[in-house]
Amino acid sequence: LIAIARGEHAAAERQLQDVLAMQRGALGPRHPIVAVTLNSLAHVLAATGRRAEAAARLDEALGILRPTVGSNHPLVAVYLLN
């Protein structure tokens, strides 16, 4: 997240992709923490103008969150606003 704050989007994307791989391996691909990282990745992608990719990551995050925490969970609302 420091790379994001510094505007180092390429580094941030690489770090988030690495973290996603670790999380998916350790927690499984449908864990809510994976959704949080996907949301962060979506922000980086959007900041670099890759809106379609960002939207796909947000959709993936929502696809994880809704069945695991419910459609009325506050995180679902936040991701819908993104």
Q: Are the CB atoms for 65 and 32 separated by under 8 Å?
A: yes
What Cα–Cα distance (Å) separates residue 53 from each residue in 10, 21, 68? 14, 17, 23
What Cα–Cα distance (Å) separates residue 9 from each residue in 1, 3, 71? 10, 7, 30
Q: Which residue has the higher pLDDT, 16 or 82?
A: 16
With tokens 């864990």, the residue in question is 31
pLDDT tens per residue, range 52-82: 999 999 999 999 999 999 889 888 888 888 7
Q: Is the pTM of this model over 0.75?
A: yes
Long-range CB contacts for residues 68-71, cutoff 8 Å, separation at least 24? 68/30, 68/31, 68/32, 68/35, 69/32
